[in-house]
Amino acid sequence: MVVRIVGFLFLTIYGCVFSWAQSLESDNHLIDISVPQVSLLSADDEAFVHFDVHGPTEAGLFVTTLHDSTIKLKYSTVAGSNSSYSVFARIDPSPLAQAFRLNLEASNYSTGEGLLGNSQGIIQLSTSWQPVVTDIGTCYTGSDPSAGRQMMSSLEVISTSSIQAGNQDGFKVFYTITD
């Protein structure tokens, strides 16, 4: 009887230790993460730039350069390794291009987070795509109305004789983002 009890206790203790030892084994698995390259761009939907060109206020003077900074550019990007994005801008052909020059400058500051890129300074817009912001990495500028990169427009007179009173034409500015 004692042998049976000792044998039973031995088997019980051995079974407990063996099952506890088995619970110390480990295993693992992989979690695969796939991140695609993305680039999204948006200019303020509701905003527009309006230059109200006034005549001179004193004889012998003429219209000076006008400035506006109401447009904010928003973008979100996920860049690949060793790649970056750039924002380009251009204008449609306009009869006003004979009288006025439209310049654009992206501010050096932008809301958001990540590699937001570098302003290329003042760009004289034409019908050809021109870089405005370069070296954009993975980032976002934010989406609320006060977020984004401020775009400053300036209008310069380049041909006084081409300006006509009552002209309501304008420039249409296009933006794109590319890698």
Q: What is the pLDDT of residues 107-135, one digit of tens each?
A: 987 789 999 999 999 999 999 999 999 99
What pLDDT is recorded for position 41? Answer: 93
In a domain, 24, yes or no: no
The answer as to whether 103 is a domain residue is yes
Report pLDDT for 127: 94
Residue predicted with more confidence, 131 or 5: 131
| Residue tagged 């109305």 (tokens) | 145
pLDDT at 24 exceeding the cut of 70 = no
Task: Write phi, then psi, for 70 (nearest 5 degrees).
Answer: -90, -15
The tens digit of pLDDT for each residue in 26-68 reads: 889 999 999 899 999 998 766 778 787 777 788 888 877 788 8
Give domain status of residue 14, yes or no.
no
Beta strand 100-110 with 85-91: parallel, antiparallel or unpaired? unpaired
Number of domains in the chain: 1
Instruction: Say if 11 falls within a structural domain.
Output: no
CA distance 33 to 178: 24
Q: How far is CA 74 from CA 1, 16, 35, 141, 175, in A?
A: 85, 63, 21, 6, 11
What is the residue range of 135's domain? Answer: 38-178
The answer to whether position 27 is within a domain reads no
Does residue 57 fall inside a structural domain?
Answer: yes
For residue 22, the model assigns a pLDDT of 52
32 in a structural domain = no
Q: Given this model, what pLDDT does residue 132 score? A: 97
Query: Is 10 inside a domain boundary?
Result: no
Please state, rounded to an integer, the average pLDDT across all residues of the chain. Answer: 84
